[in-house]
Amino acid sequence: MKRRILISIFMLVIMLIIPLVISMPQQSRMTFFEKNNENVDEEIKEEENEKVQDEDYNENDKFLLLDKSNDEVIRVSGRDFMRGAIATEMPITFEIEALKAQAVAAFTYYTKAKIDERLKKREELKGADFEVNTKEWLYWVPKKEMQKKWAESFEKYYRKLEEVVDSVFNVIIENEGKPIVATYHAISSGKTEKSSDIFGGDSLSYLKSVPSPGDILDPNYQTKKEISVEEVRSKLEEKFQDISFPKNKEDWFQIVDKTPSGTAKKIQIGNAECSGKEIRALFSLRSSNFDIESSNGRFIFIVRGYGHGVGMSQVGAQSMAKQGLDYEQILAWYYPGTVIKRK
């Protein structure tokens, strides 16, 4: 009860602040989160092509990672995986409790992926649980890559990383006794998305839409991307071969269906119909939550948030941590109805 009251007070305070800052100009340059975990799920197959990355592992505590930078399979301990996953998914400068929340969410997500995909045994993964790219910092990196990137700050940052992992190692988010699909994203639109609205299928009870007002206060919350009419036409004609456009440029894009959180679900473009996700991919937008304007021979995409918007918002977690909430309270907010337990 005390935790629920604290979270409610935090949300009320943020809601009162938002009107004062919502109209402030936003930076157009994103400083982090150049990726998200929308397409991590891949299938696996056990083979002997392995390298031992860490010695403190056992058969029940390991991840098999196909490193796409060299097409080799690496075997790492659960603890080592947790360290490398946090380093790639969230800025190490974030608050300790936000990092803990990220650590538990990532460990849960990939533990479930490992369990599920070892049943599927996809040959192209060479026995790995999923793909990573250690050179591009995708999903996991070893300690030596952290040393290169963090340089003179490495010792300080790595101690912080170890503190986080030591405090939450083997902590899992569960629903009905099983690890959940603990999706997360960089920045929401101010309200997270229901899973079925974004990924389709049946809605998962713990991936529902919840307020995340701290995101709106972030300087990277809103971005704009301007693209010439000629480039827009060219890309659309390449994707939709028989597309025809209205005479007025202002009528080219009609967003006919949105989620309650504002993500574009269905867009009419002349005689063609597509999803917001398709437009996001086609024009390399930060999210599918956008409005479109036309001015001076250019289309302007006004984009809110970064990522698919389902599950925990990383910037939202940081905002809550700054207000004094701990990682369990953060996770309980973004994954309602779940149980947090140590394996």
The secondary structure of 199-210 as a DSSP string is H-SSPPTTS---
Q: Calculate mean pLDDT across residues 219-230.
A: 97
Judge whether residue 23 has pLDDT over 60: no
Judge if 256 and 298 occupy the same domain.
yes
Spatial separation of the C-alpha atoms in residues 129 and 125, rounded to whole Å: 7
Query: What is the pLDDT at residue 124?
Result: 84
Judge whether residue 15 has pLDDT over 90: no
Q: Which range among 96-105, 182-191, 199-208 shows the weakest confidence by mean pLDDT?
A: 199-208
Judge if 63 and 116 occupy the same domain.
yes
From its phi and psi, is residue 201 left (phi > 0), alpha (psi between -120 and 50) or beta? left
Cα distances from 225 to residues 112, 211, 215, 291, 302, in angstroms, run 36, 26, 20, 11, 7
CB atoms within 10 A of CB 144: 8
Query: What is the pLDDT at residue 69?
Result: 94
Q: Which range among 28-32, 205-209, 221-225, 239-243 shows the weakest confidence by mean pLDDT?
A: 28-32
Spatial separation of the C-alpha atoms in residues 94 and 313, rounded to whole Å: 13
Judge if 257 and 121 occupy the same domain.
no
Query: What is the pLDDT at residue 125?
Result: 86
Structure tokens at 159: 């101690």
Query: What is the pLDDT at residue 25?
Result: 37
Query: What is the pLDDT at residue 29?
Result: 32
Give pLDDT tens digits for 332-343: 999 999 999 997
- Enclosing domain of residue 104: 2-218+309-342
Spatial separation of the C-alpha atoms in residues 337 and 225, rounded to whole Å: 38
Judge whether residue 149 has pLDDT over 90: yes
Judge if 230 and 336 occupy the same domain.
no
Query: What is the pLDDT at residue 40?
Result: 35
Spatial separation of the C-alpha atoms in residues 130 and 281, rounded to whole Å: 23
Judge if 30 and 90 occupy the same domain.
yes
SS3 assignment, position 82: helix
Judge if 283 and 152 occupy the same domain.
no
Query: What is the pLDDT at residue 8?
Result: 57
- Burial of 327 from C-beta contacts in 10 A (0-12 / 13-18 / 19+): buried
Judge whether residue 42 has pLDDT over 50: no
Q: Calculate mean pLDDT across residues 229-237.
A: 96
Judge if 11 and 120 occupy the same domain.
yes
Give pLDDT tens digits for 267-306: 999 999 999 999 999 999 999 999 999 999 999 999 999 9
- Asked if residues 286 and 303 have their Cβ atoms less than 8 Å apart, the reply is yes
Helix 154-168, helix 78-89: angle, nearest 10? 120
Judge whether residue 19 has pLDDT over 60: no
Judge if 150 and 199 occupy the same domain.
yes
Q: Which range among 20-29, 105-114, 130-139, 289-298 shows the weakest confidence by mean pLDDT?
A: 20-29
Judge whether residue 50 has pLDDT over 70: no
| pTM, full prediction | 0.84
Give the rounded distance of the alpha carbon of 285 from its chain centre: 14
Spatial separation of the C-alpha atoms in residues 100 and 68, rounded to whole Å: 27
Query: What is the pLDDT at residue 343?
Result: 79
Comparing 146 with 21, the larger pLDDT belongs to 146
Domain count, the chain: 2
Judge if 25 and 130 occupy the same domain.
yes
Confidence of residue 10 (pLDDT cuts 50, 70, 90): low
Judge if 177 and 245 occupy the same domain.
no
Judge if 94 and 208 occupy the same domain.
yes
Tell me the sheet residues that pair with 282. Answer: none
Judge whether residue 36 has pLDDT over 80: no
DSSP at 217: G
Helix 229-239, helix 276-283: angle, nearest 10? 120
**Average pLDDT score, the chain:** 86
Query: What is the pLDDT at residue 244?
Result: 95
Give pLDDT tens digits for 68-92: 999 999 999 999 999 999 999 999 9
Judge if 40 and 57 occupy the same domain.
yes
